[in-house]
Amino acid sequence: MARMFAPLTAVPDHPALERVVLARWDAERTFERLRELNAGGPRFSFVDGPITANNAMGVHHAWGRTLKDVFQRFQALRGHELRYQNGFDCQGLWVEVEVEKSLGLNSKREIEEYGLAEFAARCRERVAKYAEVITEQSRRLGMWMDWDNDYYTFADTNIEYIWRFLKEVHRRGWLFLGHRSTQWCPRCGTSLSQHEQAGEGNYEELDHPSLHVRFPLKERKGEALVVWTTTPWTLPANVAAAVKPDAEYGLSNGGWRLAESGGEYERIARGDELVGLEYSGPFDELTPQQGIAHRLIPWDDVVLDEGTGIVHIAPGAGTDDFELSRVHDLPVLVPIDESGRFYPEYDPFAGLSTDEAEEPVIAALRERGLLVEAGRVTHRYPICWRCRTPLVFRVVDDWFIGVDGIRGALLDENAKVEWTPPQYRKRMDDWLRNMGDWNISRKRYFGLPLPFYQCACGNLNVVGSRAELERRAVRGLEQLQELHRPWIDEVPISCESCGVEVQRIPDVGDAWLDAGIVPLSTLGWENPTWVEHGYATGAAEGLTGADLPDDTYWQQWFPADWISEMREQIRLWFYSQFFMSMTLVGRSPYRRVLTYEKLLDETGREMHRSWGNSIDADEAFDRMGADVMRWLFCEVPPAQNLKFGYGPAREVQRRLLTLWNSVSFLVTYGNIEDFRPVYADLTGGPPEGQPLDAWLVSRTHQLVADTTAAYERYWTPAVTAAFDAFVEDLSNWYIRRSRRRFYGDDEAAFRTLWYALVQSLRVVAPLMPFLADELWRNLVAGACERAPDSVHLAGWPEVHEPDTTLLTEIAEVRELVELGRQVRAEEGVKLRQPLRRASIHGSEAARSHLDEIREELRVKEVELLDAAPLRFRYKPNLRVLGPRLGRDLSAVRAALEVGEFEELGEGRIRAAGHELGPDELIVERAKERGWAHSDRFSVGLDLDLDPELEREGRVLDLIHALNALRKDRGLELTDRIAVTVPASQSDLLPEHADWIKQETLAVRIEADGGSLEIEKV
């Protein structure tokens, strides 16, 4: 007869199994059929945060993508219709810097020489290439998305929606050109914004010079200020020095500096007494320094715990310095150009980078006798989030969106968003409260072209759509292949105020505008008619088939029911889309957010390619398999960092093996006994059997209820924990307790076990889609007519109220059994060795499960004790008893030591003729041999072995050895054997031969002088 179930291998080969399942999903259109099944169902709106299509996926990306997939799969199993649109982030510094690297370009000048049109083409090619790579990897991870209809943020459609947002921002008066000091990357040649740079990873410990420099005072001959700086390159731009007004300064060796207590000074003065003094700057001969009067200014924020307490101020090269220039009306000298090199007028430093200028500046100071002290300092210094170059400060013109007009509304709206874990709402609040104006302009090439046309008449023209651009264009439309540089720069417009021709500003936009508009642009907000492939515009043409839906669709799918990204997106994507949606439609684009922490290596260090501890996603797919990766991602509470690696993966594989072995058990004996599962059991439940069957059904109900609740609150660690505990109960209680019933055709046992295993596969399917589907295929699809061919098409099991009384009882019994095993482990008594008696105290449930407890503990009888078996040991409290008993103390102490005392109740005892109270005694719980205790229960085992018990123990050892031999020889479970035992064991046979035969399927047993042997008969 054909076997009902396919036999399982000894251990699952996850990667191989997953490739088989992937091929099957493709061949059988499983995902497409799921979408067809759910079409028209209640909507579950998920909006994907775009992944940067710029490099292959890292394992940390796989974490986020797993969570997205898990909850989409869960919602689909619950019958929801979903959109499944994946997004790619496509423009901005990310892709530019990588393309520069691959082309060997190292400055903006080289990009311009290379040609902007060519550069844009290379950027698009890179995006296309890595979008494909990421798609392939995501499929491998098991992610189900509508891969032919991705959104690409560099689509003209997306850009137009951002233009529309910017026009609205301008209409509200929030848009302005700021003249500000900003963090500047000299390699990228652009300023960077607060929200991009705020991450902890954007700092490094760097080594810089630490200089004490004399600034000679003009009106006081022989006296000078001693200032401190760690950026020598800023000295040529010095215009002032600052002291803390209420600090004390002292003069010694002709130099003023912060007075230290106990220091000897010729004079002492408060900072505010020195304010206003003029000094000679260190580089007064430089052309830009002509006519500048250097003076001492007050500043409350001067740091006093390092340096000299006097800081040099260069408003063109530092943020605080720039702010001070506004307060004190100081001139602003900007010494370096956008590539971080000195302007020509700063000769002799002209053309040097800030690093290269270090030595010449120090040499010049030394030559002029201005250098007091030159050392080094290691400090935390900002680096470019994109290319890791140390940043400098420049004063430049950047475009900003003022945030004060909307800050309050954002905070109010955030109160309505449900954050998981909940503490992250406060993080968002903190960001919203403290965020500065949004710097949206970057002086770069392949990015969102800011639609700003600044006219000489003073009017700022902001174009809000391509149609408006076409209407107002003076020329150049014929060559406008997409809304990117260089083409867009060839389309001047006429000023709406004075009619004169105006050029676009050259700046491009912050990449977070690109991703932030997505909840509006991809869903068709205010779009009057549905446009097929209407999203595949500009650079995205040919890469996707995505439609541009209409406003009705937007109303159905906005806001997202749920989104999920890592925690740093609070200041990035969660923020930018929140800001943009609130501006345009007045409400949050998402209802719920799941956010999670960082991925580290298995020892808890950050992963870095250069440290050799990073793991490529492809390597992880091949070596541990996607299901195991997904399990690791889901197991960690999202507020904790995740330790990822092959060690933790092996631990997961070990636990999954318990499930695998349980299925294998059912498959093996099901085939032997020709078990036929009944699909309707999954809805109606298996037939009533023994009490243990009822327990497993109830235990399964509990698993379904617990995991359903966990998925509903977006908490995967509760799913993995519930599943682990369930499989443990199923394997180490139900199967072990019922094993014998499967050696015959006990229909109820088979159907109950099948029911429990299959329901558990269904609830774990979102998390572990491959293994669950493969096992479903074997246990259900291949065995039941009319069953869905995939677990992912089977819907969600009905949630039943579990019988908690029954579950509590068995949980209690299992706890007792654990305590009994603990005693055996402590006393070195094998589980196989039968014992005479177990004594139990504290458990009511034990009364109705005496047989199970007896079998599990392998004892002949179980006795239930009314009184606690605890015994106490008493020691005299010497401080109290010493004075009272005097020389009698030693007799009392001796009696207590050997346990000669009488308990009188309420903690009182009598020993050596004295009655002692609780305050005179130190009480310890005695650790008795043969007992183990939990909070509620006590279990004791009688450990004495009589000859009968000893012999039974040897029989069980023999049975164990014989079954091990059967396995070694590769015998089928049904094969019969002939057994030869050594003569030394022959004394067991007269009494126990039948028992041995029964347990080993032996037909004959003989004893001779040789070793233990079996032979198939």
Binding site for Zn ion (CB under 5 A): 185, 187-188, 384, 386-387, 389, 455, 457, 459, 495, 497-498
Supply the minimum distance, in Å, between the C-beta of residue 112 and Zn ion. Answer: 17
Supply the minimum distance, in Å, between the C-beta of residue 502 and Zn ion. Answer: 7
Q: How big is the CA angle at 435 (ends 434 and 436), to the nearest 5 degrees?
A: 115
Q: Which of 508, 505, 469, 473 is nearest to 492 (CA)?
A: 473
Distance CA 410, CA 429 (A): 9
Q: Which two tokens stand for residue 552?
A: 């009705």
Supply the minimum distance, in Å, between the C-beta of residue 611 and Zn ion. Answer: 22
CA 160 to chain centre: 33
Contact (CB, 8 A) for 255 and 224: yes
Supply the minimum distance, in Å, between the C-beta of residue 380 and Zn ion. Answer: 18
Supply the minimum distance, in Å, between the C-beta of residue 446 and Zn ion. Answer: 15
Quickly list H helices, 407-496. Answer: 407-414, 424-434, 466-472
Distance CA 407, CA 429 (A): 10
Pick the closer one to Zn ion by CB: 102 or 640: 102
Pick the closer one to Zn ion by CB: 192 or 958: 192
CB under 8 Å to 129, separation ≥6 — which residues?
A: none
Pick the closer one to Zn ion by CB: 185 or 594: 185
Pick the closer one to Zn ion by CB: 185 or 584: 185
Supply the minimum distance, in Å, between the C-beta of residue 499 and Zn ion. Answer: 7
Supply the minimum distance, in Å, between the C-beta of residue 385 and Zn ion. Answer: 8
Half-sphere exposure of 370 (CA within 13 A, CB side): 24
End-to-end CA distance of the chain: 23
Supply the minimum distance, in Å, between the C-beta of residue 197 and Zn ion. Answer: 11
Supply the minimum distance, in Å, between the C-beta of residue 789 and Zn ion. Answer: 52
Supply the minimum distance, in Å, between the C-beta of residue 190 and Zn ion. Answer: 8
DSSP string, 57-83: PBHHHHHHHHHHHHHHHHHHHTT-B--
Pick the closer one to Zn ion by CB: 73 or 108: 108
Pick the closer one to Zn ion by CB: 447 or 559: 447
Q: How big is the CA angle at 449 (ends 447 and 452), to the nearest 5 degrees?
A: 150
Return the percent helix, strand and coil in the chain, to nearest 5: 45, 20, 35
At 649 the three-state DSSP class reads helix
Pick the closer one to Zn ion by CB: 183 or 230: 183
Which residues are paired to 837 by β-bridges? 861
Contact (CB, 8 A) for 476 and 533: no
Pick the closer one to Zn ion by CB: 96 or 773: 96
Q: Which of 537, 481, 539, 536 is nearest to 95 (CA)?
A: 539
Q: Which of 162, 933, 129, 31 is nearest to 576 (CA)?
A: 162
Supply the minimum distance, in Å, between the C-beta of residue 464 and Zn ion. Answer: 18
Supply the minimum distance, in Å, between the C-beta of residue 153 and Zn ion. Answer: 20
Pick the closer one to Zn ion by CB: 112 or 888: 112
Q: How big is the CA angle at 538 (ends 533 and 539), to the nearest 5 degrees?
A: 105
Distances (CA, A) of 977 to 151, 472, 954, 996: 66, 95, 20, 12
Which residues are paired to 394 by β-bridges? 182
307 residue type, one letter: G
Pick the closer one to Zn ion by CB: 257 or 442: 442
The dihedrals phi and psi of 114, each to the nearest 5 degrees, come to: -65, -30
Q: How many C-beta neighbours within 10 Å does residue 842 have?
A: 18
Supply the minimum distance, in Å, between the C-beta of residue 386 and Zn ion. Answer: 5
Distance CA 523, CA 161 (A): 11
Supply the minimum distance, in Å, between the C-beta of residue 186 and Zn ion. Answer: 8
Pick the closer one to Zn ion by CB: 294 or 341: 341
The sign of the torsion formed by the CA atoms of 846, 847, 850, 854 equals positive
Pick the closer one to Zn ion by CB: 202 or 658: 202
Radius of gyration of the chain (CA): 39
Pick the closer one to Zn ion by CB: 498 or 831: 498
CB under 8 Å to 810, separation ≥6 — which residues?
A: 695, 699, 733, 845, 849
Pick the closer one to Zn ion by CB: 510 or 920: 510
